[in-house]
Amino acid sequence: MAGSLRWFRYVADDGTAYAINRDESNTEIVNLVADTTAVIPTAVLPKNLTPRSIRYATPNGQATRDIAVLTLARYTAINGVTAITAGEGDIDSGFTFTVRSKKGEKISRIPVTADSGKDDGDNP
């Protein structure tokens, strides 16, 4: 079920495309064999942006995985407990993975490090 790492094209909610390095097998299962012809952007996903993802359970139910969903359209198409079946050419062909939960994209604020100019004891 785990595969080699590969760069994918991740499209953020605002439409900006980034490069994201993820496990090939799992990412392709969730994203329906992601478009390999798409040009991978040179800008890597920023540290303050957590990609949207789904958590799915393996066929035996003993393990779960959080996998990035590369496009908002695909994220929207996955409803509740939609089953994901691996493609014909995939190692895990024929297995059905149950979607447990979904997490939307999250942007963390970057703190402002400028001095406020107020006397707050930070001057020597």
pLDDT digit string (tens) for 54-108? 988 877 777 788 889 999 988 888 875 556 665 554 445 556 777 888 899 998 8
Can you give the pLDDT at residue 105?
Answer: 92
Residue 35 has pLDDT above 90, yes or no: no
Q: Please, which pLDDT band fits residue 3 given cuts at 50, 70 and 90?
A: low
Query: Rounded to two decimals, what is the model's pTM?
Result: 0.74
| Cβ atoms of 8 and 18 closer than 8 Å | no
Nearest one of 13, 117, 1 to 72, comparing CA atoms = 13
